Amino acid sequence: MDPVTEALDDLHRRISPLKDGEVATYIPQLAHADPDDFGIALTSMAGHRYQAGSADTPFSIQSVSKPFVYALALTDLGPEEMLRRVGAEPSGEAFNAISLEEDTGRPANPMINAGAIATTALVEAPDPAARFARILDCLSAFAGRRLDHDEDVYASEAETGDRNRALAYLMRSAGSLEGDPHTVTDTYFRQCSVRVTAADLAVMAATLAKGGLNPVTGARVVTQDVAVRTLAIMATCGMYDGAGQWLLNVGLPAKSGVSGGLIAVSPGRFGVAIYSPPLDAEGNSVRGVVALTAVSARFQLHLMHAPVHLTATVTDTGTAARSSRVRTPEQAAALDRDPRRITVVGAQGELEFTETEQLLNAVAETAPGTPGAVVLDLTAVTGVSSGPAAMLAAALADLEEQGHRVAVAVQEPFLEQSEARPGSWTGFSTRDEALAWCEDRFLDSPGLLNDASP
C-alpha cells in the first residue's frame, strides 16, 4: 500500500468510532443516509487518486456545489459585476439565514443559501433547463466525469423547500434577484441534488487547487483568477458560522454540505474530500472536521504557515568563468588579468518574490566593482511570475546604468524587456554564448591588448 493511502486508511480507522452528530432530516430523503458511511479521498496535482472507506458511495452534493456554481457565474459575469450582485463577507450566521444587506438586499456571500440561490440565478442561460444543463456540465467538468442528479432528493427538497423559496422572494422584493423565485429555487434544488462520491469531490477540489485545471483530465475548467477568487470565498465563508474557527484551526479553504460532504483545498498541493453524514451544530460533517483538522496539522498545511523553499535559487556565482571560445595567448592573458571584470550568476527553478530577491542580492554582491560585464544564466529557470519579472528587468536596467554590460542566457521569453524601464541587455540561449559575447566586448576595448604587454 502506498504511503498516502496508508495515511488515509489510518485516519479512517482512528475517526470511524466517532459517533457524534446528527444526520440532517429537514430534507426527508437525507434522513435515509447511513451514519456509519465514512469515506475519505484525495487527488494530487499529478492527478493521482487516493481513497479510504466508502469513498465511492454516491450522495447528493448539496452545498458543496456552491463554490463551483459560483465559479461558473463569476466566469459569466466577471469579478466586479459578480461582487455587485453577491457579497463576499462572512455572515457569521447559519447557512439558511436571511443574510441580506439592509439597503440593497444583496446577499452576504455565495456560500450561504441566499447568496447561492442568487448565484444560481446569475448563470447565463436562455431558460431554466439550459441553466441547469450548464450547471451540470460545469460540475461534471470539475469532477472529470459525467454526473447526474438524484430525482428523489430533488423532489424531497422541492416539497419541503419553503424557507429557500422565502429567501428568494425576499431577495426579489429587495431587488437583488431577478426572475421567478419558484423557478430559480427549482434550479437550485436540482443543483443540490447532483450525485457525487467523495472520490469525485476530491477531483473537484483538486481542480481548484490546481488553479482551475483538472489534474485528472487535463482540461482547463475555469481560469486561475476565477479559481483564486473562489478559494478566497471558501476560506472566509465556506464553513458557515464555523468559518472563523475553521480558518484558525485548519487554515484551508473548504466547503461543507448538509448531506455530509466536505471538501478542503491545499492550493498547489491537493484536493481532499470527506463523506460522513452526521453533522455538528453548525451543519458541518463531524468526522469531516476532525479528519481535515488532523490532515492539516500532520502535513502543516495551514495557509498562514510560512512556505518552505526546498531548492536553492542561486546555483553558482563565479568571477573567473571563461567561455569555450579559442583565444590567442594575448587574449587569454588579458582575460585572466582581471577575473572580476566578467561575473556570472546562475539560477534555477521558479522565480517568485523570495527567489527573485535572493537572486538579485547575489547579482549585486558579485557584480564587478568597476564597469564590466554580468552574465545572468537563467537557462535552468522554469518560470517567472510577472511581478518578479519586472523586479528582474529593473535590476538589469540598474546594472546597465552603472556601466555594466548585461548578457542573459534564457531559454524561454520569461524576461520581456520591461516597458517601464527599457534596458538593453542582450539575450542568448546558452551561458557559453553569453560569456563569449562579454569576453568579446571586453577584448574589443581599445588599447586593452596593448596594455596587456608587460
Interaction site with ligand GLN (CB under 6 A): 62-63, 95-96, 113, 157, 164, 192, 257-258, 283
Query: How near is the Cβ of 190 to ligand GLN at its closest, in Å?
Result: 10
Angle between helical axes of 128-143 and 66-77 (0-180°, round to 10) = 110
Q: Are 73 and 119 in contact (CB under 8 A)?
A: yes
Q: Is 162 or 336 the residue whose CB approaches ligand GLN more closely?
A: 162
Q: Compute the distance between CA of residue 329 and CA of residue 171 in angstroms, rounded to an integer.
A: 85
Query: How near is the Cβ of 266 to ligand GLN at its closest, in Å?
Result: 22
Query: How near is the Cβ of 163 to ligand GLN at its closest, in Å?
Result: 7
The full DSSP string for 190-235 is HHHTBEE-HHHHHHHHHHHHTTTB-TTT--B-S-HHHHHHHHHHHH
Query: How near is the Cβ of 396 to ligand GLN at its closest, in Å?
Result: 53
Query: Facing residues of 271 across strands?
Result: 43, 265
To 10 degrees, the CA torsion angle through 107, 108, 113, 119?
A: 60
Based on its alpha-carbon atoms, the radius of gyration of the chain, rounded to whole angstroms, reads: 29
Residues 335-370, buried b or exposed e (16+ Cβ, 10 A)? Answer: beeeeebbbbbbbbbebbeebbebbbebbeebbbee
Task: Look up residue 229 and give its three cell numbers.
Answer: 477568487
Q: Is 31 or 364 the residue whose CB approaches ligand GLN more closely?
A: 31
Q: Is 96 or 223 the residue whose CB approaches ligand GLN more closely?
A: 96
Q: Is 215 or 242 the residue whose CB approaches ligand GLN more closely?
A: 242
Query: How near is the Cβ of 309 to ligand GLN at its closest, in Å?
Result: 39
Residue nearest to ligand GLN (CB): 63
Query: How near is the Cβ of 199 to ligand GLN at its closest, in Å?
Result: 19
Task: Look up residue 98 and give its three cell numbers.
Answer: 436571511
Q: Is 62 or 331 the residue whose CB approaches ligand GLN more closely?
A: 62
Q: Is 61 or 374 the residue whose CB approaches ligand GLN more closely?
A: 61
User: Which strands, in side-by-side order, build the sheet including 405-409?
Assistant: 314-318, 342-351, 373-384, 405-409, 426-428
Beta-sheet pairing, 373-384 with 342-351 = parallel
Q: Is 62 or 348 the residue whose CB approaches ligand GLN more closely?
A: 62
Q: Is 112 or 396 the residue whose CB approaches ligand GLN more closely?
A: 112
CA 35 to chain centre: 32
Q: Is 51 or 113 the residue whose CB approaches ligand GLN more closely?
A: 113
Query: How near is the Cβ of 257 to ligand GLN at its closest, in Å?
Result: 4
Q: Is 51 or 193 the residue whose CB approaches ligand GLN more closely?
A: 193
- For 168, 227, 278, 281, the CA distances from 239, given in Å and listed in that order, are 22, 18, 15, 12
CA 15 to chain centre: 28
Q: Are 117 and 185 in contact (CB under 8 A)?
A: yes
Query: How near is the Cβ of 95 to ligand GLN at its closest, in Å?
Result: 4
Question: How crowded is residue 330: how many other Cβ atoms within 10 Å of its Cβ?
Answer: 14
Task: Look up residue 137 and give its three cell numbers.
Answer: 456540465
Query: How near is the Cβ of 61 to ligand GLN at its closest, in Å?
Result: 8
Query: How near is the Cβ of 170 to ligand GLN at its closest, in Å?
Result: 15
